[in-house]
Amino acid sequence: MKIIGTGSALPEKEVTNDMLAGFLETSDSWITTRTGIQTRRLLSKETLSELAITAAQNAIKSSGLNPEDIDYLICSNVANSYVSPSLSSIILAPLGCCCPCIDLNGACAGFIYSLDMADAFFKTGRAKNILIVAAEEPSRFCNWHERETSVLFGDGAGAVVLTEGEGFKDFRVTADTHTDVLYYKRSLEVTPYDRVEEKTMPLVMQGREVFKLAVRACIKDVDVMLERNNMTGEDIDMYLLHQANMRIIESIREHLGQPKEKFPTNLQKYGNTSSASIPILMDELSRAGELKDGMTLLLSAFGGGFVTGITIMKWSEIKYEEE
Ligand code: COA
């Protein structure tokens, strides 16, 4: 398969570190030095499904296809205000698509998990054109009285359209059970038979543990991936890494000994948008003309679970109409 269209959408509301310091015991300098994040976009007037629809419409438009040409829709999403129906079901008809659809929760690695699933659909002849929309509102998982988590996240949506082709070289997705380091619990209805009354628990994160797990796992993924494809860090033109923390990206870059220019970032502007971070970055780079025909890209992400995903692909330039 190959990517033939990209799109993204961000909430209008921009929230700076200084704005957070107005009601949390934090500071712009703490957040910037520990994470690299300067500002983030947070849902206020819009809904997540509206963002997802805009991102998807932009991706479909740039692909040159029509909504009815899409024959599978995958939404990468950790949680939204509906438990059921799925986000993909909610956006399907408004997009004008008429195809099977499914949500996939691969935490912050969900976009790469979705690509991996799409790859399997192409290889088994199940689909000719697939739309992946990664749409996330992690700001809604946080306790906004807790500085440890709420300063890290932003909301957003990124989308790609895939068709048959030779763009993707290899995938690796991994998973392990580490439920204690990063979790968000939602309460379910109480039944007469369920003895434990559960409460919604806003996002709990052991920051240092997650940091170490992320660096260790991503370095392993990159090493395995490069080795089994007989490549070195030099052979990758651009690394599109999950936009969680500049220091995590920097650790991976240092391990590879590759120049900073190969590691584009937008976490300064948007914070950690979970699985939407890589497709948003990809859309911005592609529309800015930074992704050239034939470039080799490495995409790598990690997330709660603990899960990781990595892929290597060749880029085919996309033509965008003036907007
Ligand atoms: N503002 C000011 N101080 C803060 C703060 C904030 N927003 N958050 C935590 N602190 C304080 C802590 O209370 C602690 O204080 P203490 O030394 O008095 O106990 C101190 O800063 C250091 O905290 P620590 O957690 O050790 O900092 P850190 O260098 O590990 O950075 C993270 C914290 C969260 C930025 C970092 O661990 C991280 O990015 N982890 C990965 C998170 C992630 O990517 N999650 C998403 C996964 S998809």
pLDDT digits (tens, 9 = 90+) for 50-96: 999 999 999 999 999 999 999 999 999 999 999 999 999 999 999 99
Same domain, 123 and 160: yes
Among residues 67, 141, 134, 71, which one has the least CA distance to residue 105?
134
Across the range 244-261, mean pLDDT stands at 98
Examine the fold and report which residue of 166, 183, 213 is the final residue of a domain before the chain moves on.
166
Q: Are residues 28 and 141 in the same domain?
A: yes
What mean pLDDT is predicted for residues 170-178? 97
Q: Which of 148, 218, 265, 275 maximizes ligand 1 atoms within 8 Å of its Cβ, making it the mutation to test the pocket?
A: 148
The answer to whether position 34 is within a domain reads yes
- Are 118 and 152 found together in one domain? yes
Containing 170, the helix (H) or strand (E) segment is strand 168-175
Q: Which amino acid would we find at residue 266? A: N
Given 133, 166, 199, the domain boundary residue is 166
Question: Which of 116, 9, 114 has its CA nearest to residue 52?
Answer: 9
pLDDT at 40 over 90: yes
267-297 residue pLDDT tens: 999 999 999 999 999 999 999 999 999 999 9
Domain around 287: 171-314
Q: Are residues 161 and 211 in the same domain?
A: no
Atom of ligand 1 nearest to the CA of 301: 48
Q: What percent of the chain has a predicted confidence (pLDDT) above 90?
A: 95
Q: Are residues 148 and 17 in the same domain?
A: yes
Over residues 4-17, the mean pLDDT reads: 98
Q: 159 and 11: one domain?
A: yes
Q: For residue 122, what are its two tokens?
A: 């192409």
Instruction: Summarize the confidence of residues 196-211 as an average pLDDT.
Output: 92
pLDDT of residue 235: 98
Q: How many structural domains does the chain have?
A: 2
Is residue 319 one of the residues assigned to a domain? no
- Which tokens hold the place of 287? 């529309």
Band of residue 120 on the pLDDT scale cut at 50, 70, 90: very high
Counting ligand 1 atoms within 8 A of each CB, the residue from 16, 208, 274 with the most, and so the one to mutate, is 208
* 323 has a pLDDT exceeding 70: no
Looking at 139, 166, 193, which one is the last position of a domain?
166
For residues 269 and 194, membership in a common domain is answered with yes
Residue 158 lies in a domain: yes
Question: Does residue 175 sit within a domain?
Answer: yes
Burial call 198-226: b when 16+ CB within 10 Å, e when fewer: eeeebbbbeeeebbebbbebbbebbeebb
pLDDT of residue 195: 75
Per-residue confidence (pLDDT) for residue 197, from 0 to 100: 77
Ligand 1 close to Cβ of residue 147 (< 6 A): yes
Is residue 320, in this structure, part of any structural domain at all?
Answer: no
Q: How far is CA 66 from CA 4, 5, 59, 167, 181, in A?
A: 13, 12, 11, 21, 42
Q: Is residue 51 domain-resident? A: yes
Place of tokens 């780079």: 285
Going from the Cα of 163 to the center of ligand 1, the distance in angstroms, rounded, reads 41
Q: Same domain, yes or no, for 191 and 152?
A: no
One domain for residues 264 and 222: yes
Q: What amino acid positions are annotated as catalytic residues? A: 108, 242, 272
| Distance separating alpha carbons of residues 95 and 74, to the nearest angstrom | 13
222 alpha-carbon distance from chain centroid = 18
* Whether 60 and 155 share a structural domain: yes
Q: Are 142 and 153 in contact (CB under 8 A)?
A: yes
Q: SS3 letters for 293-322?
A: CCCEEEEEEEECCCEEEEEEEECCCCCCCC
The pLDDT of 147-169, averaged and rounded, is 97
Residue 221 has pLDDT above 70, yes or no: yes
Do 146 and 234 fall into the same domain?
A: no
- pLDDT the model gives residue 8: 98
Q: How far is the CA of 40 from the centre of ligand 1 (A)?
A: 17
Residue 226 shares a structural domain with residue 281? yes
Could you give phi then psi for residue 262, rounded to 5 degrees? -80, -5
Full-model pTM: 0.97
**Cα of 208 to ligand 1 centre, how many Å?**
7
Tell whether 89 is covered by a domain: yes
Question: Sheet of 307-314: strands edge to edge?
Answer: 168-175, 307-314, 296-303, 238-241
Lowest-confidence pick of 24-28, 53-57, 159-163, 193-197 = 193-197
Which domain CATH number covers 217?
A: 3.40.47.10
Q: Would residue 323 count as lying in a domain?
A: no
For ligand 1, say whether the CB of 244 is within 6 Å of any of its atoms.
yes
